[in-house]
């Protein structure tokens, strides 16, 4: 069990400033979706993935820092405001990042990372925290030259330089920025796990909301006819099912698992790690939804099948991993649904878009119903101490 006394385990509500900060990333998700929509190739998908790692990395890093530093401290509030302003410029440059606006993307990105990292390294409440974020700055220093070189070279090789930089940043985040012989003992860290879980829940709603906006924009540009209306309704059903797959009791399962864990920092870190793939999945679904609404009676294609079925399959597979490692349940159902979606996606390559969407809805409706029941069983059943100890390893 964690040696942090219960009296020191922090409890804070998500502040209005943090919600205000998240609005910048509503814009970012829209920009990422638009970039993928305009570049529906393997290279376009790779570019979108690199930009996604950079953009979401700034959100995750700053949100984690704000939780650790206490968002009610003046220094934390100023950090969020500055990062928000820089993030607005960075996200505005997403469409041209691999064209003529590379510097407009990289300069705010690096400014966010080094500014926020320096603030935390100086303002952390404990020596352990300050030392950890000094290590984080070292990881950032490793990737920064690659971001800079990528901005300086031509558009062709830029992807390779930036992919290497994004890989370093992602690896650092996934491994909690270790250095040889220097690691953070997260069991000894006072951490407001409930606060960070709420941040992740709200960000997930933002992602679903952006897909709703995408569907709305596509509908406003499409003819007002039966196929377009059915396509929009089908997209809405898919989104409701994805919402129910987590908020239909899943959040209670995760909250209980994290708050009873001996190492809540690790559990939340796994949630942040999985959020990268959840974001990628919902961006893919948003683009696929827009294509279906624009051409509901057109011809099927491999690209559309990958977007429309690959996105939800990735979402369910990722959350299966998160539920399995954190809550120890409701993961087999998710994994089985992901496999079914992958198989259905193969058939969808030859189906008209509207028929593909109907098939997607059928799978997701069944999946949502099964998961709601699985969540109820988990929340109603006893949680053994041995299971909680196992999950904290």
Domains of the chain plus CATH, in order, are 10-184 (no CATH), 193-391 (1.20.1410)
In this model, does residue 386 exceed pLDDT 70?
Answer: no
Mean pLDDT of the chain: 87
pTM exceeds 0.85 for this model:
yes
**What is the C-alpha separation between 195 and 59, in angstroms, rounded?**
15
pLDDT of residue 387: 41
Higher-confidence residue: 212 or 37? 37
196-233 in b/e form (b: 16+ CB < 10 A) is bbbbbbebbebbbebbeebbeebbeebeeeebbebbbe
**What is the C-alpha separation between 177 and 170, in angstroms, rounded?**
10
7-28 in b/e form (b: 16+ CB < 10 A) is eeeeeeebbebbeebbebbbeb
Q: Determine how many CB atoms are found less than 10 A away from the CB of residue 379.
A: 16
Judged by DSSP in three states, 179 sits in strand
State the average pLDDT over residues 181-202.
Answer: 74
User: Model confidence over 275-301: pLDDT tens digits?
Assistant: 999 999 999 999 999 999 989 998 889
Nearby residues of 332 by Cβ (< 8 Å), 6 or more positions away: 320
State the average pLDDT over residues 366-376.
Answer: 95
**What is the C-alpha separation between 215 and 220, in angstroms, rounded?**
9
pLDDT of residue 190: 65
280-317 in b/e form (b: 16+ CB < 10 A) is bbbbbbbbbbbbbbbbbeeebbebbbbbbbbbbbbbbb
User: Model confidence over 63-105: pLDDT tens digits?
Assistant: 888 888 888 888 889 999 999 999 999 999 999 999 999 999 9
Between CA 370 and CA 379, with CA 374 as vertex, the angle to 5 degrees is 150
In this model, does residue 140 exceed pLDDT 70?
Answer: yes
In this model, does residue 317 exceed pLDDT 90?
Answer: yes
60, burial (CB in 10 Å: exposed 0-12, middle 13-18, buried 19+): buried
**Sequence-ordered alpha helix ranges (H) in 124-192:** 127-152, 155-175
User: Model confidence over 23-39: pLDDT tens digits?
Assistant: 888 889 889 999 999 99
Nearby residues of 359 by Cβ (< 8 Å), 6 or more positions away: 344, 347, 348, 351
List the one residue out of 244, 168, 188 whose CA is nearest residue 9: 188
Look at the alpha carbons of 239, 34, 218, 209 in this order and tell me if their dihedral is positive or negative.
Answer: positive
In this model, does residue 393 exceed pLDDT 50?
Answer: no
Q: What are phi and psi of 179, to 5 degrees?
A: -130, 155
Higher-confidence residue: 50 or 251? 50
User: Model confidence over 218-245: pLDDT tens digits?
Assistant: 888 888 889 989 999 999 999 999 999 9
Whole-angstrom CA distances from 352 to 46, 231, 236, 307 are: 27, 11, 18, 14
């Amino acid at each position: 069990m964690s040696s942090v006394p219960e009296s020191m385990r922090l409890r804070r509500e998500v502040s209005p400033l943090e919600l205000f900060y998240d609005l910048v990333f509503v814009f970012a998700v829209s920009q990422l979706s638009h970039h993928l929509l305009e570049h529906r190739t393997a290279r376009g998908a790779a570019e979108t993935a690199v930009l996604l790692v950079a953009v979401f990395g700034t959100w995750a890093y700053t949100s984690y820092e704000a939780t650790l530093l206490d968002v009610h401290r003046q220094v934390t509030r100023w950090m969020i405001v500055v990062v928000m302003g820089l993030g607005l410029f960075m996200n505005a440059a997403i469409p041209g990042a691999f064209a003529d606006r590379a510097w407009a993307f990289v300069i705010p990105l690096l400014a966010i990372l080094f500014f926020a990292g320096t603030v935390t390294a100086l303002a952390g409440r404990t020596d352990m925290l300050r030392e950890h974020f000094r290590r984080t700055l070292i990881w950032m220093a490793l990737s920064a030259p690659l971001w800079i070189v990528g901005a300086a070279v031509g558009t062709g090789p830029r992807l390779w330089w930036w992919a290497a930089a994004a890989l370093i940043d992602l690896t650092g985040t996934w491994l909690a920025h270790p250095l040889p012989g220097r690691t953070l003992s997260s069991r000894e860290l006072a951490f407001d796990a409930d606060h960070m879980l709420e941040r992740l829940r709200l960000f997930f709603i933002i992602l679903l909301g952006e897909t709703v906006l995408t569907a709305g924009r596509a509908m406003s540009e499409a003819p007002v006819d039966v196929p377009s209306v059915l396509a929009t309704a089908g997209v809405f059903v898919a989104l409701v099912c994805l919402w129910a797959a987590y908020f239909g009791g899943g959040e209670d399962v995760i909250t209980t698992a994290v708050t009873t864990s001996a190492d809540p920092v690790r559990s939340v870190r796994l949630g942040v790690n999985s959020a990268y793939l959840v974001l990628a999945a919902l961006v893919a679904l948003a683009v696929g939804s827009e294509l279906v609404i624009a051409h509901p009676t057109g011809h099927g294609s491999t690209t559309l099948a990958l977007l429309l079925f690959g996105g939800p399959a990735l979402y369910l597979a990722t959350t299966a991993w998160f539920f399995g490692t954190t809550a120890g349940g409701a993961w087999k159902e998710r994994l089985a649904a992901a496999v079914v979606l992958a198989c259905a996606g193969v058939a969808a390559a030859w189906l008209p878009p509207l028929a593909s969407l109907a098939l997607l809805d059928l799978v997701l409706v069944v999946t949502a119903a099964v998961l709601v029941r699985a969540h109820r069983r988990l929340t109603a059943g006893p949680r053994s101490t041995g299971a909680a100890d196992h999950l904290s390893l």
